[in-house]
Structure 1
Amino acid sequence: MAEVIESSKEMKVIVFQLMEKEYAVGVDVVESIEKLISITRVPKTPSYIKGVINLRGVVTPIVDLRERFGMELKPLDDSSRIIIVSLEEFEVGLIVDSANDVIDIPVGSIEPQPEVVGSIESEFISGVAKVGKRLLVMLNLEKVLQPVKRVTTDEV
């Protein structure tokens, strides 16, 4: 009986937008989605680390995903959001163009990243999911956040 449940297993994800593409991360790593708040710049950090915020008493580094992926930058606006994610007791905020929705996707619909992607962000992708007419790019947060983790833990 357990095998049947496994094959129809679904994964709950947060869908967000960067440029014209939709990306997804599992809700299991998302702590919250915040409107933009004041970001304090930290000297000697990579340009994609925009600084830190004080979120409910926790100092959290903020990464601009557009800049991290080498995409064209755009001014932040009312639809911009900070998605707070947590990996192994490490929290970081990701600036995205907008956070669209929370959906369940069948685990079986996630395919490995196509070999021909070749875009700058391709090293940060764990796969793609086809959901109806939508194509969601699944992020590998470990790779996206690796240098951020190093920068912030080296300073402590």
Structure 2
Amino acid sequence: MNYLRAVIFSVGNREFGIDINHVVAYKKMPPVLNNSKNLEYMKGSPTKCQIIAPIIDLRTNFLGNENSSDFKMTRLLIVERNDDLVGIIVDSAMDVMDISEDTIQPFKMNTDFDYYIGISKQGDREIIILDVQNMMENLYLYISRQNGFH
């Protein structure tokens, strides 16, 4: 039986999991340098944590929640794939869990984005597993197009 070791975090009333092998850091939300070219769910780049990376706010487009600019209580989860970094704004990181791959079922949210591997039921918890590779490939493709690179 194969397991996914995942960092579990919350955004709103939903729980998400992300492969721990992609997690680089978990920090208090730093000040952000905003870029007006960004999509509404992109908040810019952190300015004080020695990391330059686009930041995605899962509270907006991904979940359909209202955009919130109050970052006092949020945290920044920095993830990496093939030396590319992205920050994900989360409400809190809760724990690390081993999730049996057999428990992950297909899942589709009603958004324009397909960054989910599936959903896993763990007792009374439903954990949405994020697809880091797909998320980052699409994010960097969008950024390169915005900057004139195809």
TM-score (norm 1): 0.80
What residue in structure 2 maps to residue 59 of structure 1? 52
CA deviation after TM superposition for structure 1 residue 56, in Å: 4.9
What residue in structure 2 maps to residue 136 of structure 1? 127
- Contact 1:39–1:52, Cα closer than 8 Å, also in 2: yes
Render the CA deviation track for 1:5-51: whole Å, top value 9, x for unaligned. Answer: xx2x3221011111211111110111111111110112322222111
Indicate the percent of aligned positions where both proteins have the same amino acid.
Answer: 25
Residues of 1 paired with 2:109 and 2:129: CA distance? 15
- The one-letter code matched in structure 2 to 1:138 is I
- The one-letter code matched in structure 1 to 2:97 is I
CA deviation after TM superposition for structure 1 residue 134, in Å: 1.1
- Within a 5 Å distance, the mapping from 1:62-141 to structure 2 comes to 62-69=55-62, 70-113=64-107, 118-120=109-111, 123-141=114-132
Report the number of matched residues: 146
| Secondary structure of 1:145 counterpart | helix
Q: Which runs of 5+ in 2 are unaligned?
A: none
The structure that is helix-richer by fraction is 1
CA deviation after TM superposition for structure 1 residue 150, in Å: 2.2
- Contact 2:30–2:49, Cα closer than 8 Å, also in 1: no
Q: Which runs of 5+ in 1 are unaligned?
A: 1-6
**Residues 1:146 and 1:71: Cα distance change in structure 2 (over 3 Å):** farther
Render the CA deviation track for 1:94-142: whole Å, top value 9, x for unaligned. Answer: 00121111111122211222xxx55227722211111122110111223
TM-score (norm 2): 0.83
